[in-house]
Amino acid sequence: MAAIAFDNSYTRLPERFFSRRQPTPVADPGPVRVNHPLATLLGIAPQWLESPEGTAVLAGNAIVPGSEPIATVYAGHQFGSYNPQLGDGRALLLGEVIGADGTRYDIQLKGSGPTPYSRGGDGRAPLGAVLREYIVSEAMHTLGLPTTRALAAVTTGEQVARESFLPGAVLCRVARSHIRIGTFQFFAARQDTEALELLVAHVLERHYPDAAGDGNPALALLQRMINAQASLVARWQLLGFIHGVMNTDNMLLSGETIDYGPCAFMDAFNRDQVYSSIDHAGRYAYGNQPAITHWNLAALAQALLPVLHPDQDQAVALAQAAVDTFPGQFAREHGQCLARKLGLAELADGDQALADELFQLMEEHQLDFTLTFRRLADLAGTTPGGDGATQGAGTTVEALFEIPDPLLPWLARWQQRLAAEQTTAGERQAVMYSANPVFIPRNHLVEEALRAATEQGDFEPFNALVDVLSQPFTYNPERARFATPPRPEQVVRQTFCGT
């Protein structure tokens, strides 16, 4: 029996969708970590992945029968400028598998050597970037957001030349697919209508099968994608997540978060926050993410025009009407999510204003995004004039964070509002504890883990962080260090793509 039961569909598309290419072997593959639950979901034995044979496959030194490695081609708008030729420059899709949940998954190596789309790049990845993606993408998953995932990371025993020489690594990434807005843009720019039609059908069948029979497949796809992205980005906003590089080649039709380059979760709330060292104009700042998503969806609509309607005016009208629904859908998704974070069944009249005031106060007083909401969850069990949280003192974050005095009038109004809900205090608190994580991948902890691995070959901090983040909603004071905001000297101000 094959170690991985590949069942590939993308390679059945015409050859102009990809290039067949083998990974470039590395000097000395070494195991770093295998994601056991994900391996099991994919029907792959975790112990095999950890064996020398599995490690060789994860490094690109061996190929499993049934694997048909390809680099896929795409284009994209990078920081607003169109680049007609991108593609997997340092990644190879090994193939697809059907998971135990019935879902089709891509298994991709990232950092596996040059491809026809490398554009002068080395096709490799430094260890730090691989570990960052492992930590943050798996955290996104446990936080409940759609995301690409990390099946495993291995070291290569080789150095990669960046500003300095860094140890190399390969990430094995899993996604429901790697088809991007930029994949559509690539074929649209070449007026390849046949390819667009094939791609629409492929994506609908894979990700939105219930819409596959719709009279207008391209319109159905556009509408589903708008809905998926509205939901995704609303949830980013309410976790304080900043993607950092929302180019159209980094937005997946599956609605999963992809590309954990310069991303970061903010500590203190700041709408203008930017971490990416290359985002000089703040195009992808926290507060801009919804508008940029809207812009990217317009780029998808534009690419779909030739297959939306044979008459161009009618195609434009359909595209425009669909794209115009984004702000409303985003507001709805954001509102529903925000209500849960505040312990409300839904946002009623005046609730958005109450929430806006909270954000205003958080920004003014530079409050930690994650702990402010988590502390509100602690306090959701109290009534005005009451005597403390319903949870045992040890499980609250009181020792790490207290609502400062200037917020007390707001707190009293919020508690009054809670008292008007039909739910019990215990029910509200349970919802809030499940909507407000206590552990996020804090930048200073991520940096610390990357530094230890890269500079000392010490993977203990990386493993400890991944382990803690596997249960982001359950507080345990023994893990207080992982929930504590950075001290001033620990604050990370910039992140680097690290490509």
- Interacting residues toward ligand AMP by CB under 6 A: 86-90, 117-118, 121-124, 245, 249-250, 259, 261, 497, 499
| 499 binding partner (options ligand AMP, Mg ion, none; Cβ < 5 to 8 Å by kind) | ligand AMP
Residue (223 or 250) nearer to ligand AMP, CB: 250
CB 289 within 8 A of CB 237: yes
Token pair recorded at residue 11? 């390679």
CB 261 within 8 A of CB 129: yes
Amino acid at 333: E
Residue (24 or 51) nearer to ligand AMP, CB: 24
| 197 binding partner (options Mg ion, ligand AMP, none; Cβ < 5 to 8 Å by kind) | none
Task: Identify the three-state secondary structure at position 158.
Answer: strand
| 90 binding partner (options ligand AMP, Mg ion, none; Cβ < 5 to 8 Å by kind) | ligand AMP
Residue 296, Cβ neighbours under 10 Å: how many?
25
CB 375 within 8 A of CB 399: no
Rounded to a whole number of angstroms, the minimum distance from the CB of residue 83 to Mg ion is 11
| 122 binding partner (options ligand AMP, Mg ion, none; Cβ < 5 to 8 Å by kind) | ligand AMP
Residue (138 or 279) nearer to ligand AMP, CB: 279
Bridge partners, residue 241, by sequence? 265
Rounded to a whole number of angstroms, the minimum distance from the CB of residue 74 to ligand AMP is 7
| 261 binding partner (options Mg ion, ligand AMP, none; Cβ < 5 to 8 Å by kind) | ligand AMP
Rounded to a whole number of angstroms, the minimum distance from the CB of residue 157 to ligand AMP is 18
Task: Identify the three-state secondary structure at position 189.
Answer: helix
Rounded to a whole number of angstroms, the minimum distance from the CB of residue 488 to ligand AMP is 31
Amino acid at 262: P
Amino acid at 422: Q
214 catalytic per annotation: no
Rounded to a whole number of angstroms, the minimum distance from the CB of residue 257 to ligand AMP is 13
Residue (125 or 319) nearer to Mg ion, CB: 125
Rounded to a whole number of angstroms, the minimum distance from the CB of residue 182 to ligand AMP is 9
Residue (259 or 333) nearer to Mg ion, CB: 259
Distance CA(412)–CA(54), nearest Å, equals 57
Residue (249 or 267) nearer to Mg ion, CB: 249
Task: Identify the three-state secondary structure at position 368.
Answer: strand
Applying CB under 5 A, the residues found at the interface with Mg ion are: 250, 259
| 121 binding partner (options Mg ion, ligand AMP, none; Cβ < 5 to 8 Å by kind) | ligand AMP
* CA contacts within 13 A on the Cβ side of 379: 23
Report which residue's Cβ sits closest to Mg ion: 259
Distance CA(473)–CA(396), nearest Å, equals 12
Distance CA(44)–CA(46), nearest Å, equals 6
Token pair recorded at residue 55? 């490690």
Longest dimension (CA), the chain: 70
Amino acid at 76: G
Alpha-carbon distances, residue 253 vs 18, 176, 198, 203, 494 (angstroms): 17, 9, 14, 7, 29
Any alpha helices (H) in 208-311, and if so which ranges? Answer: 217-237, 289-308
Rounded to a whole number of angstroms, the minimum distance from the CB of residue 334 to ligand AMP is 26
Alpha-carbon distances, residue 312 vs 197, 217, 295, 299, 319 (angstroms): 16, 17, 20, 16, 10
Catalytic residue of the set 249, 259, 267, 368: 249
Residue (88 or 368) nearer to ligand AMP, CB: 88
Catalytic residues: 249
